[in-house]
């Protein structure tokens, strides 16, 4: 397979053919956070510029899949177009910055809502309180929307990697906050998972009756705030918005 490195110090992009009509685009260097932010910035630029032949740009954890009409443009030509677009606009709002929205999401933690918290604490060699402290102290970037528009976020400042469940659960309740590796994700709807559940938010994060059905998108940031069980009844079912919750309490 041929790889098309797009040279230049601003930024160092690689575009790898992915079948006949797509490129897998990513930054060739930098920290995990820089590569993630860079891929989000390139996605924004492409969706704004809309190069000839572009059909869709799908966000990944630290890369993007650029789909195009292979009758209108080729791999190498589109890779060069991406280089030119990124070189001219990559730093317009700061290096790889999204300038997106910030969400503070309340998290209720109890035995029923956080069945895997003891295992996560034991695996990391710290207390359960410390696990939650690391989660609260982390400002997480939404890297992509996974299945059912679940926000996949990184990076949680854990002192190590969290393994997945040995036996995946067949059903997890909506609002469940789960971790694996140093990533976190929120379950929008009931469904199976192999990630470890360490809490649940009372807020509805995805609602097909809303337009759009989510308030968040790749590049937005999230902080979790552990709240008392009593907050559950008051906040249950409220649609997640940037002003849904503050550090001091619910609005």
Q: What are the residue boundaries of the structural domains of the chain, listed by start?
A: 4-89, 102-250
Here the contacts of 133-136 (C-beta below 8 Å, separation 24 or greater) are 134/158, 134/159, 135/107, 135/179, 135/184, 135/198, 135/224, 136/223, 136/224, 136/225, 136/226
Torsional sign, CA 125, 126, 127, 129: negative
pLDDT for res 86: 87
Output the six-digit token pair for 157: 């400042």
- Distance CA(29)–CA(19), nearest Å, equals 24
Its pTM surpasses 0.85: no
Superfamily of domain 102-250: Cyclophilin-like (2.40.100.10)
- The arrangement of secondary structure in 4-89, i.e. its CATH architecture, is 2-Layer Sandwich (3.30)
pLDDT for res 97: 41
- Name residues of the chain where pLDDT drops below 70: 1-10, 91-99, 244, 246-251
- Distance CA(125)–CA(128), nearest Å, equals 10
pLDDT for res 246: 61
Q: In sequence order, which residues have a C-beta less than 8 Å from that of residue 169 and are 6 or more positions away?
A: 192, 193, 194, 197
- Distance CA(234)–CA(243), nearest Å, equals 15
């Amino acid at each position: 397979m041929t790889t098309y490195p797009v040279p230049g110090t601003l930024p160092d992009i690689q575009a790898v053919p992915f079948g006949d009509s797509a490129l897998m685009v990513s930054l060739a260097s930098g920290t995990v956070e820089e590569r993630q932010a860079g891929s989000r910035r390139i996605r924004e630029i492409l969706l704004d510029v809309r190069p000839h032949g572009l059909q869709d740009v799908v966000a990944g954890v630290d890369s993007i899949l650029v789909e195009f009409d292979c009758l209108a443009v080729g791999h190498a030509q589109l890779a060069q177009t991406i280089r030119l677009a990124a070189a001219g606009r990559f730093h317009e709002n700061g290096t790889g910055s999204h300038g997106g929205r910030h969400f503070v999401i309340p998290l209720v933690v109890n035995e029923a809502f956080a069945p895997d918290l003891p295992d996560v604490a034991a695996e990391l060699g710290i207390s359960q309180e410390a696990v939650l402290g690391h989660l609260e102290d982390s400002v997480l970037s939404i890297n992509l929307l996974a299945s059912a528009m679940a926000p996949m976020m990184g990076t949680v400042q854990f002192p190590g990697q969290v393994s997945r469940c040995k036996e995946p659960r067949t059903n997890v309740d909506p609002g469940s906050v789960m971790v694996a590796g140093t990533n976190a994700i929120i379950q929008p709807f009931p469904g199976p998972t192999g990630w470890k559940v360490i809490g649940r938010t009372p807020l509805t994060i995805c609602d097909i009756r809303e337009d759009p059905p989510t308030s968040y998108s790749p590049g937005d940031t999230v902080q979790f705030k552990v709240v008392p069980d009593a907050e559950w009844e008051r906040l249950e079912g409220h649609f997640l918005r940037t002003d849904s919750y503050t550090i001091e309490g619910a609005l």
